Structure 1
Amino acid sequence: MYYGLIEAGGTKFVLGVASADGTILARHRLPTTSPEETLGQSISWLADQGYDLAAIGLASFGPLNLDRAHAEWGSTTRTTKPLWSGTDLVSPFARAFGCPVGLETDVNGAALAEATWGAGRGFGSLLYLTVGTGVGGGFVAGGRLLQGMTHPEMGHIPLPRHPHDTAFPGHCAFHGDCLEGLVAGPAVMARWAANLSDLGPDHEGADIVAWYLGAAIVTYQAILAPARIVLGGGVMATPGLIERIRDYARSRGGEYFAGNVDEIVTRPGLGNNSGLLGALAVALEAAGHSLECSSDTWRLMPIHSQIAGGG
Structure 2
Amino acid sequence: MVEPLLLGAIEAGGTKFLCAIADRDGTPLMQTRIPTTTPDETLGAASAFFAEAARRHGTLAAFSIGSFGPLSLNRVAADYGCITSTPKAGWQNVDLLAHFGRTIAAPTALDTDVNCAAVGERLFGSGQGLDTFCYVTVGTGIGVGVLINGAPHGGANHPEAGHITLPRAPGDDRFAGICPYHGDCLEGLACGPAMHARWGVPAETLPGDHPAWDLEADYLAGLCATLTYTVRPDRIIIGGGVMQPLMYDRVRRALTAKLAGYDASMRTIDMANYVAAPTAGSSAGLTGALALAYRTATRQWPTHWTITETTSIEADAVNA
For the criterion TM > 0.5, the same-fold answer is: yes
* Structure 1 residue corresponding to 2:21, chosen from 17, 23, 27: 17
Contact 2:83 2:96 in 1 (8 A): yes
Farther-moved stretch of structure 1 (249-258 vs 201-210):
249-258
Task: State the partner residue of 1:176.
Answer: 183
Q: Give 1:288 shift.
A: 4.2
1:282 equivalent to 2:292? Answer yes
Deviations 1:222-245 (A, max 9, x none): 111111111121212x24112211
1:148 equivalent to 2:155? Answer yes
Structure 2: distance between partners of 1:278 and 1:172: 28
Q: Give 1:14 shift.
A: 1.6
Structure 2: distance between partners of 1:272 and 1:155: 21
Contact 1:228 1:266 in 2 (8 A): yes
One-letter amino acid matched to 2:185: C
1:40 equivalent to 2:44? Answer yes
Task: State the partner residue of 1:244.
Answer: 250
Q: Which runs of 5+ in 1 are unaligned?
A: 300-311
Q: Runs (4+) of structure 1 moved beyond 6 Å?
A: none
* Structure 1 residue corresponding to 2:95, chosen from 88, 92, 96: 88
Q: Which runs of 5+ in 2 are unaligned?
A: 307-320
Q: Give 1:139 shift.
A: 1.0
Provide closer, same or farther for how the CA distance between residues 239 and 118 of structure 1 changes in structure 2, counting only shifts above 3 A: closer
Task: State the partner residue of 1:108.
Answer: 115
Identity of aligned residues (%): 43
Farther-moved stretch of structure 1 (110-119 vs 79-88):
110-119
Structure 2: distance between partners of 1:260 and 1:21: 35
One-letter amino acid matched to 1:169: A
Q: Say how many residue pairs are matched.
A: 295
Structure 1: distance between partners of 2:198 and 2:57: 46
When the two chains are superposed, the root-mean-square deviation of aligned CA atoms in Å is 1.9
Q: Give 1:79 shift.
A: 1.3
1:51 equivalent to 2:57? Answer yes
Deviations 1:207-256 (A, max 9, x none): 211111012111111111111111121212x2411221122112222344
Farther-moved stretch of structure 1 (177-186 vs 283-292):
283-292
Contact 1:102 1:285 in 2 (8 A): no
Farther-moved stretch of structure 1 (39-48 vs 158-167):
39-48
- 1:113 is paired with a residue of what secondary structure? helix
Contact 2:291 2:301 in 1 (8 A): yes
Q: Give 1:95 shift.
A: 2.0
Task: State the partner residue of 1:272.
Answer: 282
Task: State the partner residue of 1:166.
Answer: 173
Contact 1:115 1:125 in 2 (8 A): no
1:185 equivalent to 2:192? Answer yes
Structure 2: distance between partners of 1:283 and 1:147: 17
Structure 1: distance between partners of 2:200 and 2:130: 40
- 2:181 is paired with a residue of what secondary structure? coil
The TM-score normalised by the length of structure 2 is 0.86
Task: State the partner residue of 2:242.
Answer: 235
Provide closer, same or farther for how the CA distance between residues 82 and 4 of structure 1 changes in structure 2, counting only shifts above 3 A: same
Contact 2:26 2:305 in 1 (8 A): no
* Structure 1 residue corresponding to 2:270, chosen from 233, 253, 260: 260
